[in-house]
Amino acid sequence: MSKDSSYIYENRIIPKGLLVAIGGNEDKEHDLQIFNTILSLVNKKRKSIEIITTASSYPEEAGMAYYKVFTRDSENNVGLMHISTREQASDASLLKRITTADIIFFTGGDQLRITSVLGGTPIENEILRRYEQEFCIISGTSAGASAMSKTMICGGDSREALRKGTINVSIGIGLIDNAIIDTHFIERGRFSRLMQIVSMNPSNIGIGIGEDSGIVIKGGCILKAIGRGITVILDGQHLKYTNVADIDSDEAIAIENLVIHTIVNGYGYDLCEKKYLRPYDLDRINRIESEGNSSENN
């Protein structure tokens, strides 16, 4: 395989970075299951971590909570980025820190702040470039996870969410372009939000991450569940019928045949092949990968 084509597979760029999306309200005090998983992904003793607090209305407070998590039991080099204006998102010294970070972490808050402040800025472009071209971890919780997808949910009451037009959608950072992420999913009963979105374009996969749960996405395809909660996958590919194009705003949506999965720690989903992955399947994928890596090294 030539070096130039090595990121391309079936007309798709295969990103070299990893995404870790978290459903919010993750354990920050006890065994730090999710954060330990994130840290274990980087094979360095002293990791460089940048925390972006743009989503939060209380950036100092939010930043400090994650600073404590990432410095506990470690010699990591952790920086806080309280970026609240588009000017700051072009700052050269911040940009340099993004270029060298091993882990870039987005706190929760409001996903529209992330996209309206960072959208199209040098900081955002550098994050996208690094995710595509270099090994690094891009992680986010709650709003920081929702903003990862290209189509981003940014509002809508789940009690009314199976009525047409009740969910607000905007454009996210675009680290994921074949799925939509929703968070606090089980705890806030948000099934109907993703159902509306997927029914409007069944080619999208809906990913609903529960609290204290997360997913690691590798190569833009292989999704693996982490944490102690549940992630729900809504797959529209077998959808047979919906009235959504024929009804008026606020009318109730009929949907025939949406497929739903739940994945928990050890299980996964292939976003590209749209296929459920049991522990056995994930083991097989890991084996193939490590064999591939060792033959490359030979």
Binding residues for a second copy (CB under 8 A):
158-159, 161-162, 186-192, 195, 210, 228-230, 238, 240-241, 243, 251-265, 267, 276, 278
The three-state secondary structure class of 201 is coil
Q: How far is the CB of 265 from a second copy (least distance, A)?
A: 7
In single-letter form, the type of residue at position 232 comes to V
Q: What are phi and psi of 60, to 5 degrees?
A: -65, -50
Of residues 128 and 247, the one with the C-beta less far from a second copy? 247
Q: Are strands 151-155 and 103-106 parallel, antiparallel or unpaired?
A: unpaired
User: What's the min distance (Å) between Cβ of 24 and a second copy?
Assistant: 13
Q: Which is nearer to a second copy, 121 or 158 (CB)?
A: 158
Nearer to a second copy, 121 or 192 (CB): 192
When the beta carbons of 22 and 49 are compared against a second copy, the nearer one is: 22
CA atoms within 13 A on the CB side of 262: 9
DSSP letter for each residue of 123-180: HHHHHHHHHHHS--EEEEETHHHHTTBSEEEEE--GGGTTBTT-SEEEE---SBSSEE
Least distance in angstroms from the C-beta of 256 to a second copy:
4
- Give 97 or 188: the residue with its C-beta nearer to a second copy: 188
Smallest gap, in angstroms, from Cβ of residue 36 to a second copy? 18
- Residue number, 176 or 230, with CB nearest to a second copy: 230
Q: Please, what's the b/e burial string for 71-108 (b: 16 or more CB within 10 A of its CB; e: otherwise)?
A: eeeeebbbbbbebeeeebbebeebeebbeebbbbbbbb
Phi-psi region of 182 (alpha: psi -120 to 50; beta: other; left: phi over 0): beta
β-strands 151-155, 137-141 pairing:
unpaired
CB 115 within 8 A of CB 81: no
Closest approach, Cβ 207 to a second copy, in A, equals 15
Q: Which is nearer to a second copy, 98 or 285 (CB)?
A: 285
Residue whose C-alpha is closest to residue 216's, from 9, 16, 37? 37
CB 255 → a second copy: shortest distance, Å?
4
CB of 262 to a second copy, least distance (A): 4
Pair 11, 131: CB distance under 8 Å: no
